Amino acid sequence: MQTRKLGNQGLEVSALGFGCMGLNFSYGHRISAEESTKLLHKAVENGITFFDTAEVYGPYTNEEIIGQALKPFRERVVIATKFGFNIQDEKMAGTNSTPAQIRKAVEGSLKRLDTDYIDLLYQHRVDPNVPIEEVAGTVKELIQEGKVKYFGLSEPGVETIRRAHAVHPVSALQNEYSLWFRKPEHEIIPLLEELSIGLVPYSPLGKGFLTGAFDETTALAANDFRQNSPRFAAEVREQNLAFVNLLKRFAVEKEATPAQIALAWLLAQKPWITPIPGTTKIHRLEENIGSISISLGADEISAITFEADKLKVAGGRYTEAIEKTTGL
């Protein structure tokens, strides 16, 4: 497995990470702790060293699963987690990034992950009521105390990134980014290149859509969080499947799958981009890892991008209320 450097502070991770949220949260189904452990061990065996979780996944239980599963490999892996929300009655209840809440969240994460330190700590979403300088300053103190190694942000705007970075270097930014959602290319990616900050794309396979597993009739469970994504609505599926068909055309040429082409395209964008696809299935894990060995030439990358530019995504990625919580 190749490795990539995120930021200039020393953070180095596998070129492909593992997004752990879906193991037991958000997708309408979950796998057991035992099944999760088997899957995560398989990921480590295949060279993945970068694992992403958050206190709100579950809430709390995702961190517990990750902590126990990765404990035998603790010195070999990089664990990222996140703070930034109130949690009441086992649900997110608004943003909260006050210094006291950050410290409370970190102590909880350390306990659930069964570790002495968090490798990469993200602010999960910007808190409009707390200056980002206070947030960065608190994380800086936690780094000085040895409880955290690196500082990250998730879905902030460009000014927030600059202000945070001025207080303490941001090593990584986690944003949604895929062939299906390219908004970060406009302002975010140029800024990250300027400031030497790594990018960790979540939902690099469009929350599963770009794998080709969906068609016009595919049903979502009532508690699947993709119910909150207008672009998954049945009436727009046919238009959005044009992206999958594009990937399929290039997949045939490379003897690959649409998912592998989608990931290979992302990996080819910048040497400091590390996608974190998630899965609950070993064969999908192996498929994702296979994207590392797919070499797309400059002409092929340009051709995929050129063809994608002709297509228009139908529907927003989230509802309007949820989208307002991001800085994009």
Give catalytic residue positions. Answer: 57
In DSSP terms, 224 is beta-bridged to: 27
Provide the CA 156 distance to its chain's centre, in angstroms: 14
Cβ pair 39, 8 in contact under 8 A = no
Contacts of 166 (CB under 8 A, 6+ apart): 133
Task: Look at residues 204, 208, 221, 194 and name the one whose alpha carbon lies nearest to residue 273.
Answer: 204
Task: Look at residues 197, 147, 200 and name the one whose alpha carbon lies nearest to residue 168.
Answer: 197
**Maximum distance among all Cα pairs of the chain, rounded to whole angstroms:** 54
Q: Within 10 A of 128 (CB to CB), how many other CB atoms are there?
A: 11
Q: Which residue blocks in the chain are alpha helix, DSSP H?
A: 33-45, 61-70, 99-113, 132-144, 158-167, 188-195, 237-254, 258-269, 282-290, 298-309, 320-323
Sheet order of strands, 198-202 included: 18-19, 50-52, 78-83, 118-123, 148-154, 172-176, 198-202
The tokens 């699947």 sit on which residue? 224
